[in-house]
Amino acid sequence: MTGNPGIPSDAELLARASRGDERAVGMVYDRYGQVMYAVAYRIVRQPGDAEEVVADAFAQAWRDAGRFEAGRGSVAAWLTVITRSRALDLVRARSRRERITDAARRSDPESTLGMGTPGASPDAAVETKERERRVAEALADLSPPQRAAIELAFFEGLSHSEIAERLDEPLGTVKTRVRLGMQKLRESLKPYFYERFA
């Protein structure tokens, strides 16, 4: 989300937010709060925990804003990496404390599809909706084993060898599935990237 005259770029907003500009914080949240929540929810599977993860991820983003390198990726991707890392930390800590006894109080998400946050503009909500549709189609185009390998890596934090062990498949097969699946997604989703690369 960059390049429109009069609209601050993500990198500018990130810098302002890290210096204590509440308005910039709100704008970054409106742009990427929903996608960060979606990542967190896919990993922790609990709405309250997902919100905890997003709040922590933003706090870390403000602290680490100086490490963001604009030329090496988008703010959206950077925030996603932070969110994934915090969510996996939470799951591991939860597992460690063996407090997965809360199945009863686990509530299913309401069927309000991610239409953006209250502060997001209608245009942004439409864009988000289109992105969701295209990502679902692109993933559906993968073979089920390719999709499974990619999702185990990203949402469960497993390495190639751990995926091979989990699926009882040869390591080389898993590597190939991840590589070919991601290549296919890269081609089909390029128009929907948060930032394009020359």
Q: Which residues contact 3 (CB under 8 A, 6 or more apart)?
A: 9
Q: Which is nearer to other proteins, 114 or 145 (CB)?
A: 114
Cα separation of 167 and 181, whole Å? Answer: 17
Q: Which of 106, 121, 143, 186 binds other proteins (CB under 8 A)?
A: 186
Closest separation in Å from C-beta 80 to other proteins: 4
Q: Which of 6, 20, 66, 122 binds other proteins (CB under 8 A)?
A: 20
Closest separation in Å from C-beta 178 to other proteins: 5
Q: Determine contact, residues 124/31, Cβ cutoff 8 Å.
A: yes
* CA-based torsion, 185, 190, 196, 198: positive or negative: positive
Q: Which is nearer to other proteins, 110 or 123 (CB)?
A: 110
Closest separation in Å from C-beta 74 to other proteins: 6
Q: Does 55 bind other proteins (CB under 8 A)?
A: yes
Q: Does 59 bind other proteins (CB under 8 A)?
A: yes
**Binding positions for other proteins, 110-139, rule CB under 8 A:** 110-119, 128, 131-132, 135-136, 138-139
Q: Does 172 bind other proteins (CB under 8 A)?
A: yes
Q: Which is nearer to other proteins, 11 or 58 (CB)?
A: 58
Query: For 122-131, which contacts have Cβ atoms below 8 Å and span 24 or more sequence positions?
Result: 124/30, 124/31, 128/34, 128/35, 130/192, 131/192
**Binding positions for other proteins, 71-110, rule CB under 8 A:** 72-74, 76-77, 80-81, 84, 89, 92-93, 96, 109-110
Helix (H, G, I), strand (E, B) or coil at 108: coil
CA gyration radius for the chain?
A: 18
B/e letters for 171-193, b = 16+ CB within 10 Å, e = fewer, are eeebeebbeebbebbeebeeeee
